[in-house]
Structure 1
Amino acid sequence: MSTAPRTTAAADWRALGANVRLVVTDPALLDSCDLLLARHLAEVDATCSRFRTDSELAALDDAAGRPVRVSPLLAEALAVALRAAETTDGAVDPTVGSAMDAVGYDRDFTLVREDDRPVRLRVRRAPGRRQVRLDRETGTVAVPAGVRLDLGATAKAWAADKAAAMLAEAAGCGVLVSLGGDTAVAGEPPAGGCQIRVQDVTGPVDETPAQGPYATVGLHSGGLATSGTGARNWRRGGHALHHIVDPRTGLPVRSPWRTVSVAAATCADANAASTAALVKGADAEPWLARLGLPARLVTQDGTVVTTPGWPAPAASDLEAAA
């Protein structure tokens, strides 16, 4: 790998209800890569959105258990979601769609915060991944009546992985794609890796987050994801709610962690692990260490805990935390 400095160029916009950031190591290719990324994300939205009545995913709601032929893109997204459920022992599960609706997250988040309708909270375990029958050979999926899927815990990270790999191959340069903080890197990175700032987000997703202690990570390949309860939260009828649902209860998780960041071979794996860590609570740190995943966990009072492999803080990080 070359150690010569590389010039980079970046573009920032919004898609899939999240902030999008694209970085390429060849500035001349930024516009063409940006166009390809926009097309890719539009396809992902039309395929995987829970909030669009015309999406492929929404069409499964009316299938009543009958096998439905789906596009290769949705089949791949579902396979990633089911694998995440398997590897996290069900802490991340795609069958929480009805639970997400029940707590009020039934539309784009900018609209959720404006809705003041009361919600009725009740404990109800998610149906579970085994209720979803995906046949990759025939390209069909069957979902029982009453089971609604939500790919929010995996789709953005998977889309970032897929986009970074596609753009790096097409452009022949280093590429970083970040979707709402789910970050994937492909191709030859800049010297020292792509510098990613990992920080608690304590404000609404469409506003500038509050500043606080952070870590800077040089990512050369794979992915890095951060999950937390500080940005996508709202109140309904006196209830403080957020978007991380515990599949065991169908309710927003109560966790000792407010933010978890994980690095892994893919962004999809990193995001599944960071979300699962919030659900696993006190068991998260040993679970991540056992899997060999470098992670940074922040407790509700701001204490930072890291697992083996997470880089030591740089001087600037220490100054920010002081």
Structure 2
Amino acid sequence: VTLDLGATAKAAAADMAAASITARLGIGALVSLGGDVATAGPDPSGGWQVRVQDLDDDPADHVRITSGWSVATSSTQKRRWEQDGHARHHILDPRWGLPAEPVWRTVTVVAPSCVTANTMTTAAVVRGQGATEMLRRSGRAARLVAADGTVVRIGGWPADDG
């Protein structure tokens, strides 16, 4: 298994871009890079409203974050292929070098940095059933969508307003 820091680099780029925009222009900024959302500077009225949805037919939620906070989502629904008759995805369990068990379709976390949020979402996908306890202990707001489409909200993630 080769260590791939692409997801971490993307999250770091979102963090740095939001901070750079604010530093250079003195305005609030929200930067979204493929599921990684970073903010900096002054909030818009009511905070930053972020829609969370992976595929068009997946359940959707909205979360409000204040400036300086980030949202990241890891998904097993994109970057997929079939190998030897088995569906595969790109998030690997480092113990085996194989795709993590498909317990969660997506995991989304709110954290003080996009790098932290992204790291937690990927770790949650790899942990499978142990993800909810890990995220509860972290105290972070999180939303997990199970393989069957069931949505689990923890740590203060807002309830679905339907």
Shift in Å at residue 200 of structure 1? 2.8
- Per-residue deviation at 1:227? 0.6
Q: Specify the alignment match of 1:175 in structure 2.
A: 29
Which of 51, 57, 62 does residue 211 from structure 1 map onto?
Answer: 57
- Give 1:260-271 correspondences, 5 Å limit: 260-271=107-118
2:80 is the counterpart of 1:230: no
Percent identity over the alignment is 55
**1:195 matches 2:42:** no
Q: Which residue is 1:73 aligned to?
A: none
Q: Which has the larger radius of gyration?
A: 1
Q: CA deviation at 1:194?
A: 1.5
**In the alignment, is the contact (CA less than 8 A) between 1:153 and 1:275 conserved in 2?**
no
1:162 equivalenced with 2:16 (yes/no): yes
Unaligned segments of structure 1, at least 5 residues: 1-95, 98-148, 202-209
TM-score, length-normalised on structure 2?
Answer: 0.94
Which structure features the higher share of helix residues? 1
> Which of 89, 93, 101 is matched with 1:246 structurally?
93
Instruction: State TM-score, norm by structure 1.
Output: 0.48
Counterparts of residues 83-98 of structure 1 (less than 5 Å): 96-97=1-2
Aligned 1:123-162 pairs, distance under 5 A: 149-162=3-16
Give, in angstroms, the shift of residue 237 of structure 1.
4.2
Q: CA deviation at 1:213?
A: 1.8
- Residue from 212, 215, 220 that aligns with 2:66: 220
Equivalent pairs counted in the alignment come to 161
Gaps of 5+ in 2: none
Q: Distance in 1 between matches of 2:78 and 2:158?
A: 25
Superposed CA RMSD = 1.3
| Residue type at the aligned position of 1:177 | V
Q: Superposed, which structure 2 residues align to 1:20-99 within 5 Å?
A: 96-97=1-2
Higher strand proportion, which one? 2
CA contact (8 A) 2:75 2:105 kept: yes
